[in-house]
Amino acid sequence: MQLKTKAPMSYHRPVMLKECIEALNINPKGVYVDVTFGGGGHSLAILERLKEGRLIAFDQDEDAKKQSENIKSRSFTFCQANFRYMKKYLKLNGVTKVDGILADLGISSHQIDSPERGFSTRYDGPLDMRMDTKGDLTAASLLNKYSEAELHKILGMYGEIKNAKTAAKLITQHRVSKPFSRTEDLKKALQTIAPRGKENKYFAQVFQALRIEVNHEMQALEDFLHQCGEVMAEGGRLVVMSYHSLEDRLVKNFINKGKMFGEVEKDFYGNEIKPFEAVNRKPIEASKEEIESNNRARSAKLRVAERI
């Protein structure tokens, strides 16, 4: 299929594009799903390889939806929805089995680079951080309402910061005199406990933790992974790219054990009960050249599994 549209690199530069497409092992007549459309870089590369096949793409972000409108192809369907409802939306579009699913987790460069979205530590902006701007929870409401214990848990678990307890305490003290509303408020509140010389990394971890909670990212990923087993045809490929260790651990456990926590279950004959078999034992990482030209690729871990 010849597509005139090109993915706008200014919106998001796709990470490990070649590796993801190879991993999907595309059948030109197959049905594929890209659950994280973003700027459409991966989607376009999939569409280019389809002849009579079909691509269903998801993204919960309004700006991603606008990007998707540039693709004029009858093989392409866009759903503005959270991928935790993938199965339902596939069914609504007449699809019950698919041949491959791609997930490129997290947020796009466009989202990070839009100060009004509040994802970036670099610019002052509202403490929003919602991918779906219709969502109820913003980073500000979380910072102003969550208990100290909840904040401690989120910062420690999702941000992996060492002084999460102290940070949670400072946040609850700070909000008494002035509720949080701007990203600069948060940075100022935590300035005194950010490790010297490593402030940017520290704030990036704090922001990551809040973003994960605001968007219920871990819960959405769990729901999504379970549905992958249900909709994937035998031999179909699951290709997931994660950018932090918690996500990667969840994906790895699901692929290897068929569940997120605990050991793999076995049937009466001792056969493992799990929907996927890992194609690569170790995650694929971006090449040195790619990391040099796209810093975002440095933390990417790509896992590939096949439906058994």
**Binding positions for ligand SAM, 257-276, rule CB under 6 A:** none
Among 19, 31, 33, 42, binds ligand SAM (CB under 6 A): 42
Q: Which stretch binds ligand SAM (CB under 6 A): 99-107, 147-155, 259-267, 299-307?
A: 99-107
Pattern of binders to ligand SAM over 121-160, x per CB under 6 A?
----------x-----------------------------
Pattern of binders to ligand SAM over 6-25, x per CB under 6 A?
------x-x-----------
**Binding positions for ligand SAM, 154-193, rule CB under 6 A:** none
HEC string for the chain:
CCCCCCCCCCCCCCCCHHHHHHHHCCCCCCEEEECCCCCCHHHHHHHHCCCCCEEEEECCCHHHHHHHCCCCCCCEEEECCCHHHHHHHHHHCCCCCEEEEEEECCCCHHHHCCHHHCCCCCCCCECCCCCCCCCCCCHHHHHHHCCHHHHHHHHHHHHCCCCHHHHHHHHHHHHHHCCCCEHHHHHHHHHHHCCCCCHHHHHHHHHHHHHHHHCCHHHHHHHHHHHHHHHEEEEEEEEEEECCHHHHHHHHHHHHHCCCCCCCEECCCCCEECCEEECCCCCECCCHHHHHHCHHHHHCEEEEEEEC
Check binding of 53 to ligand SAM (CB under 6 A): no
Applying CB under 6 A, the site for ligand SAM has a residue count of 22
Check binding of 106 to ligand SAM (CB under 6 A): yes
Q: Name the residue nearer to ligand SAM (CB basis): 161 or 297.
A: 297
Q: How far is the CB of 255 from ligand SAM (least distance, A)?
A: 19
Q: Name the residue nearer to ligand SAM (CB basis): 83 or 180.
A: 83
Q: Return the number of other C-beta atoms located less than 10 Å from residue 51's C-beta.
A: 10
Check binding of 36 to ligand SAM (CB under 6 A): yes
Check binding of 47 to ligand SAM (CB under 6 A): no
Among 30, 40, 53, 236, binds ligand SAM (CB under 6 A): 40
Give the orientation angle of helix 17-24 with respect to helix 41-48, to 10 degrees.
50
Q: Which stretch binds ligand SAM (CB under 6 A): 55-63, 186-194, 262-270, 300-308?
A: 55-63
Q: How far is the CB of 257 from ligand SAM (least distance, A)?
A: 22
Using CB under 6 A as the criterion, which residues of the chain lie in contact with ligand SAM when the complex forms? Answer: 12, 14, 36, 38-42, 58-61, 64, 82-84, 104, 106-108, 131, 220
